[in-house]
Amino acid sequence: MGVVRHVVCAMSGGVDSSVTALLLRRRGYHVTGVFMKNWDSLDENGVCSSEKDCEDAYKVCQNLDIPFHQVSYVKEYWHEVFTNLLKEYEKGRTPNPDILCNKHIKFNHFYNYAINGLGADAMATGHYARTSQEDEDVFQQSHVAPPPKHVFRDRFEIRNPVRLYQGADRFKDQTFFLSQISQDALRRTVFPLSGLTKDYVKKIAAEAGFQHVLKKKESMGICFIGERKFEDFILEYLEPKPGNFVSIEDGKIMGEHQGWFTLTLGQRARIGGQRDAWFVVDKDITTGEVFVGPTTNHPALFRDTVRTDRFHWITEDPPTELIQTKMMECHFRFIHQMPLTPCTVTLNMDGSVWIMLSQPIRALTPGQFAVLYKGDECLGSGKIVRLGPTEHTLQQGRDPLPHSLNLY
């Protein structure tokens, strides 16, 4: 009889991770379910929502007759994700905690706990994504010593990196959120939902009797904010810094806000006494002024160029085409589920990239991640740190605002 492979499954108490554990069990693996606690919080009724999720995950593990563990990364989440989040907001950026959580917590601390702490052959999650490996290839990795890490790789080293591809359910595809994870973690991860649609996953859950997880609402938005307004939440951690709303059209002061970090580009600005809607188009963090435009599709919201920080390539190295010619055609998105936009990427000497889009896009935002795709392969991502000029600036034929986010 062959060796029974040990897979540690990340359990959230939701339908996707529950069905993931079920499918692994059906494949004959030795499965251990582990629930991660990343945040200490109470909902409006004083109930800790993570305790309810943990209980739901435990019930599924009981149902499947598999071991259940729980592990806390509250401290790590605070230091490696949340403090970074606050610093980004203070700089006028809008970070993405889900991408950072996968990078630092799930595919780093949790991954190491699964492989080294519990001695698993592989880790599994309920993400809708797939890789270039078959499951058996993943298990072979547990018997191969990782190559030594060098600052520069041997030019003659033969490598066969694992690639990340979109899942079969293109609407639910979650490669966007996995675009910063390491090659080492991807090499030892299986995604049992890769070929399934969300509807089919729900059908499997119903047939398995997982009614308690089927009833739950799909988790959306930032997990630790819950149902609260973002402004109320962020002001619990950052001191209010009142400033003026200023019209991008004529420089007129329109009203006052509680701090530039409570607002993001493209959102509606709540300005008292205004009959028409105004939208945030830029921020000047030196004066505290937030610039607003009078329509949701104001030209000051549209740009076609961004620059990232050092780009994270899933395969560790940039595509050969980009290395050889310094330019490459591919597709871009900076929000999950937004349509992919054709673009041209230019590689800079410091590893950052310029991305020129085939058409201007609304509310490109510093702090968000520029995620690139070639066909159905997710190439990786880089944090947006600089924006090109807006359509409004180009139409006016003038310089951008001196301290605006364009220059961040």
DSSP codes joined into one string, 65-109: T--EEEEE-HHHHIIIIIHHHHHHHHTT----HHHHHIIIIIIII
> Across the strands, what pairs with 342?
331
- For the cut 90, the answer to whether the pLDDT of residue 343 exceeds it is yes
Q: What is the mean pLDDT of residues 235-254?
A: 95
pLDDT band at 152 (very low <50, low <70, confident <90, very high): very low
Tell which wins on pLDDT, 41 or 36. 36
Strands (E) located in 100-248: 122-124, 129-131, 164-166, 189-190, 243-247
* Per-residue confidence band for 39, with pLDDT thresholds at 50, 70 and 90: confident
Q: Are strands 30-37 and 164-166 parallel, antiparallel or unpaired?
A: unpaired
d(CA 362, CA 279): 12
**What are the backbone angles phi and psi of residue 242, rounded to the nearest 5°?**
-60, 145
Q: How far apart are CA 159 and CA 24, in angstroms?
A: 29
Give the pLDDT of residue 225. Answer: 63
CA geometry: angle at 319 spanning 158 and 194, to 5°?
A: 90
Return the percentage of the chain with pLDDT > 90, whole number.
79
* Element at 110 (helix H, strand E): none
With contact defined as beta carbons under 8 Å apart, do 323 and 190 qualify?
Answer: no
Please pick, among 101, 330, 343, 378, the residue that the annotation labels catalytic: 101
Q: How confident is the model at residue 131 (pLDDT cuts 50, 70, 90)?
A: very high
Q: What confidence tier does 275 reach under pLDDT thresholds 50, 70, 90? A: confident
User: What are the structure tokens assigned to 141, written together?
Assistant: 């990795």
pLDDT digits (tens, 9 = 90+) for 91-101: 999 999 999 99
pLDDT of residue 401: 53
Active-site residue, selected from the candidate residues 223, 330, 343, 378: 223
Q: Are 183 and 173 in contact (CB under 8 A)?
A: no
Cβ 101 vs Cβ 81: under 8 Å: yes
How many Cβ atoms sit within 10 Å of the Cβ of residue 120? Answer: 24
Per-residue confidence at 158, pLDDT binned at 50, 70, 90?
Answer: very low
Please check whether residue 408 is in contact with residue 366, taking contact to mean a CB–CB distance below 8 angstroms.
yes
Told to judge if 223 belongs to the known catalytic residues of this protein, a careful annotator would answer yes
Asked if residue 400 has pLDDT above 60, the reply is no
Cα separation, 87 vs 240, whole angstroms = 15
Alpha carbons 317 and 379: distance in angstroms, whole number:
10
Instruction: Give the tens place of pLDDT for each residue, 168-227.
Output: 999 999 999 999 999 999 999 999 999 999 999 999 999 999 999 998 877 655 666 656
- If pLDDT is split at 50, 70 and 90, which confidence band does 408 have? very low
Residues recorded for the chain:
408
Task: Identify the residue with better confidence: 406 or 363.
Answer: 363
